[in-house]
Amino acid sequence: MKSYRFWQACSAIVLAFMILVGVFLGLGGTQEVFPFYSWFLFARVPGPMIRYELLLLSLGPGAELPAPLALEEATIGQVPRPHSVAAAQLVQRLGSACSRNDRAEVARVRRILELSYLPAGSRYALVRFRVDPLEQWLTGKHEPAELVGTFTYGSD
């Protein structure tokens, strides 16, 4: 019985310690440090943000699509690795570079994106839209996309 009480007390002390560390981590701005949790699951609602999306207009010379197709909605037969996280990050970097008018970065990111994720000769558009998760959740509305630019694989 003594052993049981000892382990019960140890468990309570460890649990209390983990809760205190988690609360202090949360208050200090750190989200999580394993095995301590901040206990503030979904407490921070993301604010409005700018997102970019790549819309495929054609899959090569003479292969126009009937309607623009988002890269992440394409199938593997249409583009290699359409659901790649790296491709999504490159699209965001391309959009950011376009908004800064950084031509060198635009050319560099386009080259990587085109060689790795798009079929040769394809045409695509980059659109920017403002996302407000809270507003979209409450009202179901979102702002229309704004065309940033139209590009052709391999052209400058």
Q: Where are the domains of the chain?
A: 2-37, 49-152
Q: With bands split at pLDDT 50, 70 and 90, how would you rate the model's confidence at 41? A: low
Going by C-alpha positions, the residue among 115, 111, 121, 107 that lies closest to residue 153 is 121
**Which of 22-26, 33-37, 135-139 has the least mean pLDDT?**
33-37
Strand order across the 123-131 sheet = 64-70, 49-58, 123-131, 146-152
**pLDDT band for position 13 (cuts 50, 70, 90):** very high
**According to the model, what pLDDT value does residue 135 have?**
79
- Say whether pLDDT at 30 is over 70: no
Lookup: tokens for 116? 């790795």
Query: Quick one: pLDDT band at residue 95, thresholds 50, 70, 90?
Result: very high
pLDDT at 38: 53
In sequence order, the 6+-apart residues with CB closer than 8 A to the CB of 117 are: 71, 79, 80, 81, 82, 84, 87, 90
Most confident of 44-58, 70-84, 114-128, 131-145: 114-128
Average pLDDT over residues 75-102: 87
Structure tokens at 101: 């008018």
